[in-house]
Amino acid sequence: MYINNVKFARSNQQQKGVLDLKKLSRVQEIDDYAGEIDYELVGFVDKLNRPTLSLRVCGTIHTLCQNCLQPMDVAIDNTSRITVFFSEEDLDAALFADSGSGVEDGVVAEEEFDIMQLVEDEIIMLLPYATKHETCVGMSYADKAENPFEVLKKII
């Protein structure tokens, strides 16, 4: 779905939806993730009169524990504030300025801004790096084989 991100923000529009992780090609290139992610994109004008987008993504990612290789769920819930700039130079200046700019993230104004790509980018940034159960019964370092010198000592 494509929007004019400036008009979307200035007219306080909203877009909601649900995405199936299996249908997001860039997510699937990383790992075989499954689950549904809800998203909500809200446009508004910030206190400095800049068009701004608020993107919330939340849901449950079905993946495998990297320790025991059993299925596990990882919950995500994140809201990002994205300021729309009219030039690449303004965007760079705001992102690399001191923290006083109030800019968390930014994009350049586009008449055909791809919402799905923005949501997929956000999901990719939220994907867990190495998932593990908090209390995993899988193989741990304590489960290592006997010390070979101890085995040799028993033989001698």
| pLDDT in the model for residue 96 | 84
Cα 140 to the chain's mean position, in Å?
Answer: 29
Q: What is the pLDDT of residue 81?
A: 96
How many CB atoms are closer than 10 A to CB 128? 14
The percentage of residues in the chain with a pLDDT greater than 90, rounded to a whole number, is 64
Three-state secondary structure call for residue 94: helix
**Model confidence at 52: pLDDT above 70:** yes
User: How far apart are the C-alpha atoms of 15 and 115, rounded to whole Å?
Assistant: 9
Most confident among 54-58, 131-135, 145-149, 152-156 (mean pLDDT): 54-58
User: What is the rounded average pLDDT for all residues in the chain?
Assistant: 89
**Model pTM greater than 0.75?**
yes
Contacts of 17 (CB under 8 A, 6+ apart): 38, 39
Q: What is the dihedral of CA 99, 105, 109, 112, to 10 degrees?
A: 180
Look at residue 42 in the predicted model and tell me its pLDDT. Answer: 98
Question: Can you give the pLDDT at residue 144?
Answer: 62
Query: DSSP labels for 114-139?
Result: EHHHHHHHHHHHHS-SS---SS--S-
Q: Which tens digits make up the pLDDT trace of 83-142? A: 999 999 998 888 887 666 678 899 999 999 999 999 999 999 998 888 888 888 665 555
Which H or E element spans position 106?
strand 105-108
Report helix, strand or coil for 146: coil
